[in-house]
Structures are given as C-alpha cells and as structure tokens.
Structure 1
Amino acid sequence: MKIIRLYIIPLLVLFFLFPSSMLAEESPISELDNIADQALQMTKVGRLEEAKQLLQHFSDEFSVASVHHSFSMDELRVLTVAHNQAVEAVNSTSMNLQQRVNTVTSFRLVMDTLSSQYQPLWTEMEDPIMTTFQQVKTAAENGNSEEYHSTLNSFLTKYNIIQPSLKLDIPVDKAQELDTRISYIDQYRQDVIQSTNPQETLSDLEKDLQNLFDGVTEDESDPSLWWVIISTGSIIILTLSYVGWRKYKGESEESKKAKRLKD
C-alpha cells in the first residue's frame, strides 16, 4: 500500500498541474495544423491528389473548428487567402513542384502561426533568408548584375513564403514597414545596384530582417515563462521530497516497532 501511495501522490500532483495535457483530446486547432502539415508533406513528394483531398478536408474541419474557436477578421483573411493559394497550387498545371511546395509551405506556416503558443515555424527560415540576402549584398558590392538579380529573386521567393505569417505575428506597422522597404528594393533594383552606395540601402534592410528574427527570439525568452517552469518544477520536487520523507519516516517507525517487539 505504501509503495502504491509513493507513486500515486506525484501522479495526482501532475494531474492537477497539467490536466489538459494528460486528459484532453487534440484540440481542433491542433488537428487543423496536422492536416496542413500532411498536405505539405504530400505536396513535397508530388502526391498531389492526396494533397488536394487533405486541403479539402482542412476546409471541412475548419468550418467545425471556427464554431469553437474565435478567429479575428485578420486571421480569417490571411488564412483564407493562404489556403486558396495552396489549393490553386496543387491544381495548377503551369507551376513546377518547387513553386507548389513554396505556396503550400506558406499556408502551412500561417496555420502553425495561429496554433503555436511559442516560437512559430516561420522563424526557422532565418538562416536561408539571411544567407541569401548576404549573397545579394555581396553581388551588389562586386557590381555583378546577373548574380545580384538572381540572388535577389531567390531572396524574394523565400521572404514571400513567410510574409503572410508575419501579418499575424508582428505588429501591423512593422510588417508594413518591412514590406515597403522590400518592395522598394524590388521595384528599383537596378537603381540600387547602380547607385554610388548600394550597401547603405541593403544594409538598412538587413538590419530590419535581423531585428525581425531577433525580436521573436527575445519574446520567446520571456522571464515570466521561465518563472512558471521553475515554480512548477519546484512544486514537483518538493512533493516528491515530502513523499520520500514520509516513506523514510514510516519505515523508521516500523523498524522501531519491530525492535521493541524483539525486546
């Protein structure tokens, strides 16, 4: 009986601390996130029929989920556009596989942004985006026009994948400011490379991009989150220590009783 109590008490503590994670079924939002991920995986391997079915399934499940989860108008607008573009991509006869994957990835990242409580998946695009932009700067500095236009196109493609997610995850004014700066460089790309100091314009954008990713990382390091983790861990440790002490005390009492009986 004592051994049973030794294990039951910590489990009860965990139950009261984390009831939703132990008992609750997968939430409708998590289910939508899983469907979006499956659609992306099917698209990557060229199984477009399965991807189409999954995107249709997403639409059906979203109608159900929206009854239980309140989406803002901005969230609905961004998600609807991303989903429609994903459907068009898997049905397109003119897109190549990489274009389809990029479009469905963008939809997948939007859904993840809506479902993630902590660091969203779009932040994992930091390395490819920053690396490609560094190549843009290098080509501009060397005056290599062909390489400059090629790497700039590659950067824009990568940025466009995360751009819808940014609308949901960062302040509107910051998202608009970043879009404006990038649109300017795209529209006046030739003027930028032919200017006397193209590095100045490109360096300003690079700082904005780095601040974008650094800002998300800093938000995820919120001290209050660590306080919750530490507090929860302390409660569990104290509980286990108390149970161990009770067990030790009980065994000591039993030992004393046995010794008195022998005496």
Structure 2
Amino acid sequence: MRQVIILLIAIFLFNVPQSIHAEEATSLHTWKELNHTSDQILQLVKQEEFEEAKQMLDYFSVSFLEVDFQEEGITMSSLRTVTSSFEKAVEAVTAIDMPLDQRIFTVTAFRLAIDALSSEHHPLWLHTEKSVMNAIRAMKETIGEGETQAFQHRFNEFLRHYDMIRPALFIDIEPQQLQRVDSQITFLERIRNESLDEDKVISHLEIMEKEWTNLYQRIKEDSADPSLWWVMFTIGGMITMSLSYVGWKKYRAEKRKVRVKE
C-alpha cells in the first residue's frame, strides 16, 4: 500500500505542473525574452557600450509593442510607467554628458519595471531591501549623532535608490501604500529644509522604517508561487493519509493480538 501511495504522488507531481506550464508557454516565453533583453541593455550600459544599448532598446520597443496588453491584463497606468521608464532609459544611453552612475541608475529603473511587470513571483526589486533599510538606519544614526550634513548626504542617497525602484513599486504595490510611502518621503524632504528637530526626524524615520519593513514582507508573502504551496499542501495531505492508514493498520493488528490472547 505504501508503494502505491508513493507512485500516485510521483504521477501527480509530474503530470499536473506540465499541464499548467503548457497553457502558459507562449506568454512566459515572450516575457522571458523581454526580461532578458532589458537585462542585456543594463549590462551594455555598465560596460559603456551605449550605441549597442540604444540598438537593443529599439529592438525591445518593437518586441514590446507586439504584446497583447489587454489579453495580458496590463493596466494603462502600468503601461504609462513602463513607457516613461523606457523613454528615460533611451535618454540615458543617448545623453552626451550624463555621469555613468546616473545612466546606470536610470536604466536599472527601467530593468526593474520590466521585471515587475513580467514576474509573478519574487520581483527583482525585492533585492533592494538591504540597501533601502540600511539607508534609513544610516539616516537615523547620523541625525541621532547631530551630524546634519551627513544626514543630508544619506537622505540624498536614499532618494536616488527610491527613484530607481519607484516605477517597479508603482506596478507591484497597491496605490494606497505607494501614496503613504510618497507622503512620508515628501514630509521628510520638507522638514529637512527647516531647522532639523532631532526627535521629530527620528520619530518619522521610525515610521518609515516600519512602513518599508511591512512593504517588503507583504510582497515576499504575495510573491510566493501558489502552485508550490498547492503541491506542498497536497503532498502533506497524502503523507497524512498514508500515516493515518499505517496507524490504523497497526491499531487493528494490536487489537487482533489482544483478541487472540483473550
């Protein structure tokens, strides 16, 4: 009986995912290609191969316009965000005197936006958690030590990172949460131009830290592959049934022994 159950589990695992992937193969291939192209563009910019990056952007534009946005469920707001990121990426690779780090930040924003649009599970921008949280903690540390100049520098660095991931956030998170994040940053920008109240700034940074922690955690939970959870629960159920069956057989055997003794 145990061998039969194991065989059923194996058949189930091999057959179900294949049927799911077969239905989505075309769409996944298209998005995988677009994702790969955006990554190539970023790598070319890092290598300062701007002419080749521009050619790849042209190729991306043609490929992207072939996507059926309505069928893929892409909203107009997400489409505008991607279009804006694309235009800024083109500007970054064609500008004459833009610093290299600014080019990389701009094209990275485009790269993260495309990934956010195409990835159902664990988008790339989640990897910015460490740098963003460290930037917030660095701001708390500098303002707590009264180093206002260092605080201004840390805040500017944080804003650069935020500008880089904001297009992806616009695509991935709920408008209400993005509005809260924007409002918190706007408030901090306003009070930093006034006489900096140490306690007020630290209190606000703690609110921001909590907001960003919740944001990353929620997206991680939402990004978990539902098919994986489904398989895990199914396997767990089968294992439970198997163990219950074994326990029941053992109980019957013990009961039979008691009757024989009697």
Residue type of the alignment partner of 1:152: F
Does the aligned pair in 2 maintain the 1:29–1:65 contact within 8 Å?
A: no
**Which ranges in structure 2 are unaligned for 5 or more consecutive residues?**
1-9, 240-262
2:61 is matched with 59
How far 1:50 moved relative to its partner? 1.1
Within 5 Å, give how 1:115-126 maps onto structure 2: 115-126=118-129
1:243 is matched with none
Residue type of the alignment partner of 1:167: F
SS in 2 for 1:118: coil
Change (3 A) 1:221 1:155: same
Supply the distance in 1 between the matched residues of 2:12 and 2:156 (Cα, whole angstroms): 56
Supply the distance in 2 between the matched residues of 1:183 and 1:206 (Cα, whole angstroms): 15
Give the stretch that moved more between structures: 225-234 or 126-135.
Answer: 225-234
1:180 is matched with 183
For these two proteins, the number of residue pairs brought into alignment is 228
How far 1:164 moved relative to its partner? 1.0
How far 1:197 moved relative to its partner? 3.5
Supply the distance in 2 between the matched residues of 1:112 and 1:192 (Cα, whole angstroms): 41
SS in 1 for 2:67: helix
SS in 2 for 1:65: coil
Does the aligned pair in 1 maintain the 2:92–2:103 contact within 8 Å?
A: yes
How far 1:232 moved relative to its partner? 6.8
Does the aligned pair in 1 maintain the 2:129–2:216 contact within 8 Å?
A: yes
Percent identity reads: 31
Say if 2:237 is the partner of 1:228: no
Normalising by structure 2, report the TM-score.
0.77
Change (3 A) 1:227 1:218: closer
How far 1:195 moved relative to its partner? 4.8
Say if 2:118 is the partner of 1:143: no
1:113 is matched with 116
Supply the distance in 1 between the matched residues of 2:33 and 2:149 (Cα, whole angstroms): 45
1:206 is matched with 209
Within 5 Å, give how 1:3-82 maps onto structure 2: 14=14, 17-19=17-19, 21=21, 24=25, 27-66=29-68, 69-82=72-85
| Aligned residue among 79, 85, 98 for 1:95 | 98
Change (3 A) 1:208 1:44: same
| Aligned residue among 116, 127, 149 for 2:130 | 127
Cα RMSD after superposing both structures: 2.7
SS in 2 for 1:78: helix
Supply the distance in 1 between the matched residues of 2:110 and 2:195 (Cα, whole angstroms): 32
Listed one character per residue, the Cα deviations across residues 132-186 of structure 1 (whole Å, up to 9, x for unaligned) are 1111111111111110111110011011111111111111011011111112212
Residue type of the alignment partner of 2:163: N
